[in-house]
Structures are given as C-alpha cells and as structure tokens.
C-alpha cells in the first residue's frame, strides 16, 4: 500500500509512519496558500465544519490534478485540514507573533473545539471523514504565552499551539482524538482507507 500525502505537515508524516502507511509527499507550488485551487480564506458565513471539509477536499482534489499533470503513478491522495472553533469563529494558523499571542490569550482558561477533516481521492471519487475534539486550557499568564510564542512552535499550527509539543503544559482536559488534535486522526484515517478497499493492517 502506498499513497500520496498532500501536506507539508511533519506531524502528519509522523502519524502515517506510526500506523505503517507508506507514502510519498505531493507538494504544491510554494505552499498550499499560494494555490488558487486551495483558497484557505474562510467564506462569509461559513461554519468551521463546512470550512474544514471544503479545504480538505480541495487539497485532495487539487493533488489528484497535479498527479495527472506531473504524470505520476496513480495512487490515492490523502489530505487533511485542521482548524479551531471558538465562539463560532474559525481560528487557523497565526499570521505573526502578535496574532499567535492574541489567539492564545483567547484560548486561556476555556474550552475550544479542534476539527480535523481528512479526505482521500482515489479513482475519481473523494471520501471524507471529520474528527471533532474538545480541548480545555488552564489559565495562562502573559509571560507564559510570550515565552511560548518566542520558541517559534506556534507559527505553523492551527490555533497557535501544538499539543504534542510544549503547549502540552497548557492542556488540562481533552475529549476526542489526540492524534486528531495533532493534525491527523489515525483511527478515522484508517477507517477511511478501508472504506476505499485498502488493507491497513
């Protein structure tokens, strides 16, 4: 079994390797946000659930088009997107350090929802699954937030934190999928691949 992973995320690469899925990384141009086919800008009135599905599917389907134009061996293409929802707002990756600080301040001492959508495109069809988890942060001091942002860890992560990194110190409760919060829910991903006829174990 071998697939294409349409993602630059090192966490997703690690998690696929963890469950024994062989893959090649299918890179977009300079980055996913520069491809018009994968516009990660939330649309007016778009809910977080609709948003994460739209982006995950767009990445998988754009990857399928690239596979054809680059004349690569036909294989399933897996993509994923992770976003946070707080008070109905979609929170993605921080634009800069000040934005990361503002995001973490908004998460301090309260719960938020982490949504990771996984899409697999294979032989003209796209299958999709959603992982939804709840995360609660303890109250964070301003010094803690600034020190964490200074490490650089939040800058490429939805919600400005990585639960598998130093931000694990902030988390007092989770309900759902730990790997989904990381960026690829391995249980749901395995079930999705099985639905497409692939043997995972």
Per-residue pLDDT of 2-53, as tens digits, reads 999 999 899 999 999 999 999 999 988 655 444 566 888 999 999 999 999 9
Distance, CA of 58 to CA of 80 (rounded, Å): 10
Tens-digit pLDDT profile for residues 65-94:
999 999 999 999 999 999 999 999 999 999
**Is 39 one of the catalytic residues?**
no
In a domain, 132, yes or no: yes
In a domain, 201, yes or no: no
In a domain, 200, yes or no: no
Three-state SS at 98? helix
In a domain, 162, yes or no: yes
In a domain, 190, yes or no: yes
The one catalytic residue in 24, 35, 36, 81 is 81
Would you place residue 117 in the very low, low, confident or very high pLDDT band (cuts 50, 70, 90)?
very high
CB 151 within 8 A of CB 114: no
Six token digits for residue 138: 């303890």
Mean pLDDT confidence for 179-183: 97
Domain count, the chain: 1
Domain with 142 in it: 2-195
Instruction: Give the E-state strand segments of the chain in sequence order.
Output: 2-5, 22-25, 77-86, 89-91, 111-122, 125-137, 171-175
Mean residue pLDDT across the chain:
93
CATH code where residue 164 lies: 3.90.950.10
In a domain, 146, yes or no: yes
């Amino acid at each position: 079994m071998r697939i294409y992973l349409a993602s630059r995320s090192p966490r997703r690469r690690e998690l696929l390797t963890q469950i024994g899925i062989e893959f090649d990384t299918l890179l977009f141009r300079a980055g996913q946000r520069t491809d018009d086919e994968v516009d990660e800008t939330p649309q007016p009135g778009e809910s977080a659930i609709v948003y994460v599905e739209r982006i995950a599917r767009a990445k998988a389907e754009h990857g399928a088009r690239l596979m054809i134009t680059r004349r690569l061996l036909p294989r399933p293409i897996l993509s994923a997107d992770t976003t946070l929802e707080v008070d109905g707002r979609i929170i993605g990756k921080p634009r800069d350090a000040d934005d990361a600080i503002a995001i973490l301040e908004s998460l301090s001492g309260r719960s938020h929802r982490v949504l990771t959508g996984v899409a697999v495109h294979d032989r003209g069809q796209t299958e999709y699954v959603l992982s939804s988890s709840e995360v609660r942060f303890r109250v964070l001091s301003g010094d803690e937030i600034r020190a964490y942002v200074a490490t650089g860890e939040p800058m490429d992560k939805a919600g400005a934190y990585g639960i598998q990194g130093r931000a694990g110190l902030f988390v007092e409760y989770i309900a759902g999928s730990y790997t989904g919060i990381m960026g690829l829910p391995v249980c749901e991903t395995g079930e999705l691949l099985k639905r497409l006829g692939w043997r995972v174990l």
